[in-house]
Amino acid sequence: MSDFSSIDHIKIPEPALRRLPWYLAYAQLAKTQGEVFLSSTQIAKDLAVDASQVAKDLSYVNISGKTRVGYDTGLLINVLEDFLGFTKTHNAFIFGIGNLGGALIQDNGLAQYGLKICAGFDIKYELSGTRINQIPIHHIDRFFELRKQTKTNIGILTVPVNNAQSVAELMIEGGIKAIWNFTPFRIRVPENIIVQNTSIYAHLALMFNRLHSTINE
Amino acid sequence: MSDFSSIDHIKIPEPALRRLPWYLAYAQLAKTQGEVFLSSTQIAKDLAVDASQVAKDLSYVNISGKTRVGYDTGLLINVLEDFLGFTKTHNAFIFGIGNLGGALIQDNGLAQYGLKICAGFDIKYELSGTRINQIPIHHIDRFFELRKQTKTNIGILTVPVNNAQSVAELMIEGGIKAIWNFTPFRIRVPENIIVQNTSIYAHLALMFNRLHSTINE
C-alpha cells in the first residue's frame, strides 16, 4: 500500500489529487449500498468525470482493478484514505480563537481526516488557561516554547484579516512549515512554506453572485 | 454604487470574482494602517497579481480611481462589500448537525459576511427542539413546512457522505435554490440549481501531500 514515504507519492499532479477525495466519498457511499466492486466507468458516469481520467487518477495510488469487475470497494477506500493522509495523525496549532477558530476547534470531524488540533493561541489574556472541546488555549506568547516542545508543523490561521500577515510571519519564525489559511487575506510567505487557502467567505460571495444572477428578488 | 439588481453584476467572470475578496481583505488592512488611497500597482505588488489585472477586476465594480493617487480606501471597502453581497442578509438553512454543521452554526462570522443561518435540520429526533447558538434545530420532517413559510433559498449541506445525494435531492424538492456543499461528495443536481463546493477535508489532503513532499519524517 502506498504511503507518504514512497517516492511515487510526490509525482501526483494537483488536479488528480483534488479529485481523489471525490472517489473516496463515492466509494464510501457505494460500500454502504453493498457494492463490492466499482469500475472506473461507473465512477466516471456518476461523478461526471471522464472514465480514462478516473483510471489515470487511480493509477497514482497503489491499487489495481480486476478486468470486467473493477476495483474492490473496501480496498479502494483503504488505499485512498491512506494515500490522502487521513489515516495518520498530523498535529496542528490553531491561531486566533474567534468565531471561525472557535468553530473549527469544535469540529471533531477534522480528527477523522488526520488532523489533531493540539492547542490554540490567541492574544486575549482572558482566553489563556481555558479549554474548548478539551483543547487548551494559550496566550500567543507561549507559542515558541510549545512549538519547540512538540515540533508541530501545521498552523491553522483564523485571526482577523488585519493580523493575518503578522501572525503568519510569527508562525513561520516559530517553525511552522504549513499554514492552513482560513482568512481571506493572501499571506506572503517564503518559498519553502506551504500555504493552503480555504477562503470560505469568498465561496459565499461566489454563491451569492450566482444566486442573484438567476433569481430576481 | 453597484448592487445585485444591476445588470453589470452578472457579467463578471468567475476568476475576477474570486480575486475581489483578496482586494477587500487588503483594503481592510490598509485602512487600519492609515492608508487613505490605494493604487492598483500597490495592490498588485503586495498580492502578486498583475497590476493591469487588478485594474481590470476592479472595473467590474462601480468605483473609479483618481489619477496618481488611486482608489479611496474606505470607498473601495464599501463598494466591494456591497458588490460581494456581504452587506445584505441572506437566510440559510443548515442540514446535518454533526461535527461540521454544529461548528458552522457557532461561527458568527458568517453573519458578518451576509449569511444568516435561521434553522438547522437533522434526522436525529433527540436534537429537534434544541438550540445551538440561539438557532433552532428541527427534525428534517419539518423542512418542507418551514421552507414554505420562510422562502429560504440557501441550504448548507453538512450531512455524512452517505446521505449527501439524498439530502440534496430533498433540499431541492423543498425549494432550495443554492446548495453550499461542505461534504466531499460530488452531488448531482438539475441545471438550475447552484452548487458551491467547499471541501475543507480535501484541502487538508492537499496540504498533507505537499507537507510530506517537502519534509522527511
CATH number, domain A7-83: 1.10.10.10
Residue of B nearest to A19 (CA): B202
Return the residue of B nearest to A11 by Cα. Answer: B213
Q: Do A106 and B110 touch (CB under 8 A)?
A: no
Nearest chain A residue to B217, by CA: A5
Cα–Cα distance between B107 and B102 in angstroms, integer?
9
Counting one residue from chain A and one from chain B, the pairs whose CB atoms sit within 8 A come to: 221
Q: Which residue of B5, B103, B177 is in closest CB contact with A106?
A: B103
In DSSP terms, which residues pair with B154 in a beta bridge? B92, B178
Which of B24, B161, B217 faces A184 most closely, judged by CB atoms?
A: B24
Q: Are B139 and B123 in contact (CB under 8 A)?
A: yes
Interval B88-133: pLDDT, tens: 999 999 999 998 899 899 888 899 999 999 999 999 999 999 999 9
Residues of A in contact with B113 (CB under 8 A): 201, 204-205
**Residue B65's pLDDT band (cuts 50, 70, 90):** confident
Least Cα separation, residue B67 to chain A (angstroms): 26
Q: Is residue A217 pLDDT above 50, yes or no?
A: no
Sort out which chain B residues have CB atoms less than 8 A from A8's CB and list them: none
Contact, B154 vs B94, CB < 8 A?
A: no
Question: What pLDDT shows up at residue A120?
Answer: 98
Of A82, A83, A143, nearest in space to A118 by CA: A143
Are A211 and B200 in contact (CB < 8 Å)? Answer: no
Which of these ranges, A92-106, A129-143, B58-72, B146-160, has the smallest mean pLDDT? B58-72
**CB-CB neighbors (< 8 A) of B180 in chain A:** 203-204, 207
Q: Which of A32, A106, A184 sits opposite B21 (nearest CB)?
A: A184
User: Which has the minimum average pLDDT: A37-51, A111-125, B136-150, B160-174?
Assistant: A37-51
pLDDT score of B215: 60
Dihedral (CA of A105, A155, A79, B181) sign: positive
Distance CA B193, CA B94 (A): 17
What confidence score (pLDDT) does residue B74 get?
96
CATH of B90-203, picked from 3.40.50.720, 3.40.50.1820, 3.50.50.60, 3.10.105.10, is 3.40.50.720
Q: Which three cell numbers stand for residue A101?
A: 477558530
CB atoms inside a 10 Å sphere around CB B150: 13
Contact B20 A205 (CB under 8 A): yes
Average pLDDT value for chain A: 91
Average of pLDDT values for B165-174?
Answer: 97
Helix crossing, A51-59 with A14-32: angle to 10°? 100
One-letter identity of residue B149: Q
Cβ <8 Å between A29 and B109: no
Give the best residue of A211, A213, A217 to mutate against chain B (max B CB count within 10 A): A211
Half-sphere exposure of B186 (CA within 13 A, CB side): 16
Residues of chain A found within 8 Å of residue B199, distances taken between Cβ atoms: 21
Residue B211 near residue B189, CB atoms below 8 Å = no
- The burial class, CB within 10 Å (0-12 / 13-18 / 19+), for A49 is middle
Q: Inform me whether the pLDDT recorded for B6 exceeds 70.
A: no
Q: Which of A25, A185, A214 lies at the smallest CB-CB distance from B161?
A: A25
- Cβ neighbours of residue B88 under 8 Å, at least 6 residues apart? A208, B4, B114
H-helix segments, chain B:
14-32, 40-47, 51-59, 73-83, 99-106, 109-112, 143-150, 164-174, 200-214
pTM, entire model: 0.88
The DSSP-derived string for A58-125 is HHTSS--PBTTTBEEHHHHHHHHHHHTTTTS-EEEEEE--SHHHHHHHH-THHHHTTEEEEEEEES-G
Distance CA A142, CA B187 (A): 43
Instruction: Give the nearest chain A residue to B216 (CA atoms).
Output: A5
Q: How many helices (H) and strands (E) does chain B have?
A: 9, 9
Contact A185 B26 (CB under 8 A): yes
B114, B88 Cβ separation under 8 angstroms = yes
Are B85 and A212 inside 8 Å of each other by CB?
yes
One fold for both B7-83 and B90-203?
no
Domain ranges of chain A: 7-83, 90-203
Query: pLDDT digits over A47-84, tens only?
Result: 889 999 999 999 999 888 888 889 999 999 999 999 99
**Contact by Cβ (8 Å): B206, A12:** no
